[in-house]
Chains A and B, each alone.
Chain A
């Protein structure tokens, strides 16, 4: 399209020129480069605007700070808008608002499409893979910096200010990453293939969610030059109020990421509910799609509360309201409650996808049907529902609502029942199975191993008396690293090894993959297990100094963390080598899965299915030679059109066969 990218991007909000007719050969010329230009222009414009609204002198006198937070907020806001305009996310809505024809969106070939705003869920999925890995590696490097500071209890490498900034950035980046690590890459890519759809329900929203997500990383990283934020990822007020300019990046960053999460969440939920192929009953839905549905519900319902919280925080810092300042009639408990009302469902946003991947992969590598499918699906939805009723267990010692503590202890402990269903499913599926320890299966087994420790330590934390001892200590920190990293991140990498042949058509290298797995598994445990003990022995979180007697355990953890980091170098080499430099074509169904996503040719056709399949069965029919195939692409219907026998179980209205 013939628009001047930078001109439209810089003032994106005020309306880029309406997109003209696209040339038929190529799609939009806007790409990540114009997006960067738009972001820079937007940032500069916002900063100028903020300073124009509130002049520096006035600000200093009125608000007793040398930082013009209005300018920072507007700069970040317009930077994000400029970024979105620069990538072309606003072309369609603006064209529609102006009453013009929407620009044609031509499907593209080649590498360039991965750097553009695209409506193809398969491209967005791969964009997300790269995106979450960028988040993950950035956060991981910062984590290693944190561990470096903790090598010695008293001598320092970074000093307390840089250290606390690193801690805060690590937490924020990793939390942002973990909300999307599976929903983004694997969810967007696989869910349409698994439910027999040609696309997600809202392709434009899907692409928007990705580009918003990526801009979140840039926004949170702007905190460093702005002086960082000293609050940790929880951003407790009133510390929030006195933090330096980087706090604005935190609030804006979580606002941006929150927007992306809401967009991704309702898109996923709507897709799964309404875009299932004929015959894809709820009882035939792959368990991974169930986990995506549960996650999507949490994303959609919990994130607005975070959004409200960061909005109020932004008001406190710019308009000088005192919503979180006790001394001026606000309440520091307000932020804590808003934050954790989002924060605890978020914990399950990070757990459910891992469970989903584990349960989806187990039948393939045990060559057995998924055990207790309905219990597993119910567990995922049950965890999701319960997670809205537990948030105050983060505030057991805060002084709020002591009479509610038994209730929150009960709800918290109740969550272990549906979480336990995931173990029931896993252990039942392994019973008398034909276990093949392929690479993805190793990651699944590691998830069950790690999450066991993460889960059982959660019981200690949920018990209010023991919480007195472990709240806010390294015990908590080790606990949630065991659940999020040991659970979700292991599942993600297992899923990546499993589905990358589907996504790119190239296998990953087995040997390097095994080296990656074993290094990651061993050094993950060596990094985080000592921290349980360190926490029990009295080391609070986020401290740069600690008792000298805890140095040995901390050093084991620190040195292991470097080797853990190195395992991802192995992974990256593997990824780059096998996917870019020397791709080895994958067989069409390398794992002999019965999943619908493996029934399609490689490379995947642009519209996935030339003919929407009729789903005949759930994808776990291992060990049943007489079972129907998972879907009918037309052949069975053609062969049996006279008798309709083959479709006995396919019609949504027919009673069909009962699976479970």
Chain B
């Protein structure tokens, strides 16, 4: 500690400045912390529609309460320093006290920051593990799973540039309306047909990358009914910004009514779909992997896969993943837009959740 002026005058100044800094800081912290907890917390995104959303909201509040005193303290320190220790720019050059180090301050600094970091780590790990991965994608073999066995599986399929959903426990029908029951554990099996997408159900507090050929599972438990938005959160090409739709949390009885009727209604189309396969779809001769890697001869299988019944073609999802040449052949359901070929959305029976909005 050579150079540290441990003169009585120096010590007195240290004490004076420290007091002037710490007391207002402590007062402000005492005001701010309850404000964050009691006022701000309930307004933090993403709300509390599910247990993972509630968990995220709680974590945000805790991290904000941990970080705020630090941010406040540093800002106050810099503000104080610039105000109190500033000398006019035209003042004669004068050096400050040659304080090169202070073991106590340094040790305290390292100890405090390390303690905060370690507690954040323990807290974060607990919050990750206990609510079954906190809504994040856990890959094909999740290690943190809900305690219950009553889990509704839903396969989320991303493709350029839309989301569709399959309900394996209801015959595997596929819609582009995401309807889920309230008070239920849901397992989203997220996969992609072409490039990497990211399933972000904002109000549900669920986010999982959709990788081709990969089953990425995310759990959440619904707590409130209502509408939520689903956005693609990983850049997936030109129309990434337009890749979003809406979903709905409904009561379990409403859900059962919707699911069984939809299953019945879509049964003819479901028959034409490949069986539900969580690990994604393997490419086949009819290009059922998004059509980006077409088969060697893209025309050879057209006869076999096309649905002969013209009426069924009207709104079937069977042709969704066929390659462009087939789509052009099928004709009636496709429309040319600046985005390329877009299929007519299937209208699900639950009217207020229908299809893509915008």
Contacts and interface: CB of A to CB of B under 8 A. Distances in A.
A binds B: yes
A397 B208 contact: yes
Interface in A396-449: 396-403, 405-406, 409-410, 413-414, 416-417, 420-421, 423-424, 427-428, 430-438, 445, 448-449
B124 A464 contact: yes
Contacts of A232: 235
B159 interface: no
A617 to B, nearest CB: 12
Interface in A296-352: 325-328, 332-333
Interface in A350-371: 366-371
B238 A369 contact: no
A659 B98 CA distance: 11
Contacts of A423: 74
A230 interface: yes
B45 A398 contact: no
Contacts of B214: 326, 332, 399
A367 B106 contact: no
Given A397-B198, A438-B89, A465 B56 contact: yes
Contact of A473 (B59, B99, B216, B233): B233
Nearest to A546: B241
B81 A430 contact: yes
B74 A436 contact: no
B198 A434 contact: no
- Of the candidates B59, B113, B238, the one having the most CB atoms from chain A within 10 angstroms of its own CB is B238
Given A410-B121, A472-B233, A538-B202, A543 B100 contact: no
A623 B229 contact: no
Nearest to B213: A326
Interface residues of B, number: 104
B128 to A, nearest CB: 5
Given A406-B128, A417-B113, A398 B137 contact: yes
Interface in B62-93: 63, 66-67, 70-71, 74-75, 77-78, 81-82, 85-87, 89, 91, 93
Interface stretch (A106-114, A191-199, A236-244, A523-531): A236-244
B120 A464 contact: no
Interface string A27-45: 0000000000000000000
Contacts of B242: 160, 544-545
- Of the candidates A398, A423, A620, the one having the most CB atoms from chain B within 10 angstroms of its own CB is A398
A542 B241 contact: yes
A465 B128 contact: yes
A48 interface: no
Interface in A107-125: none
A239 B236 contact: yes
Contacts of B117: 413-414, 416-417
Contact of B238 (A230, A372, A402, A658): A230
A660 B101 contact: yes
Nearest to B194: A238
Contacts of B100: 369-373, 620, 659-660
A537 B117 CA distance: 27
A591 to B, nearest CB: 10
A164 interface: yes
Interface in A364-404: 366-375, 395-403
Contacts of B75: 449, 452
Nearest to A410: B121
Contact of A396 (B89, B136, B213): B136
A589 to B, nearest CB: 11
The interface size bin for chain A is 35 or more
Interface in B131-178: 131, 133-140, 142-144
Contacts of A416: 113, 117
A163 B241 CA distance: 10
B211 interface: yes
Interface stretch (A264-272, A455-463, A497-505): A455-463
Nearest to B136: A468
A434 B59 contact: no
B23 interface: no
A469 B232 contact: no
B299 to A, nearest CB: 14
Nearest to B281: A327
Given A399-B138, A431-B99, A369 B3 contact: yes
Nearest to B290: A327
Interface string A188-228: 00000000000000000000000000000000000000000
A463 B122 CA distance: 10
A540 interface: yes
Contacts of B127: 463-465
Contact of A332 (B128, B143, B196): B196
A424 B102 CA distance: 11
A413 B66 CA distance: 13
Contacts of A402: 133, 136, 138-139, 142-144
Given A417-B117, A471-B207, A242 B87 contact: no
B95 interface: yes
A467 interface: yes
- Of the candidates A373, A465, A473, the one having the most CB atoms from chain B within 10 angstroms of its own CB is A465
Contacts of A433: 81, 85, 96
Given A160-B238, A437-B89, A468-B135, A460 B60 contact: yes
Contact of B93 (A366, A417, A592, A659): A592
A623 B238 contact: no
A635 interface: no
Given A432-B99, A460-B60, A465-B124, A239 B143 contact: no
B301 interface: no
Contacts of A467: 136
B196 A463 contact: no
A469 B45 contact: yes
B13 A432 contact: yes
A409 B125 contact: yes
B105 interface: yes
Contacts of B129: 406
Contacts of A22: none
Given A238-B194, A434-B96, A327 B212 contact: yes
B356 to A, nearest CB: 13
B27 interface: no
Given A160-B242, A332-B211, A435-B86, A399 B235 contact: no
A483 interface: no
Contacts of B294: 64
A368 B95 contact: yes
A161 interface: yes
Contacts of B109: 420-421, 424
B327 interface: no
13 contacts: A231-B235, A239-B236, A332-B214, A399-B211, A399-B216, A409-B121, A430-B85, A433-B85, A459-B67, A465-B127, A465-B128, A471-B233, A624-B98
Interface of A: 64, 160-161, 163-164, 230-232, 234, 236, 238-239, 241-242, 325-328, 332-333, 366-375, 395-403, 405-406, 409-410, 413-414, 416-417, 420-421, 423-424, 427-428, 430-438, 445, 448-449, 452-453, 456, 459-460, 462-469, 471-473, 536-538, 540-547, 592, 620-624, 658-660
Given A326-B280, A368-B95, A452-B75, 10 more contacts: A160-B239, A231-B235, A238-B196, A369-B98, A369-B100, A372-B100, A399-B139, A399-B140, A436-B86, A445-B78
Sorted nearest first, the 6 A-B pairs with minimum C-beta distance are A543-B241, A399-B216, A623-B98, A623-B95, A326-B213, A465-B134
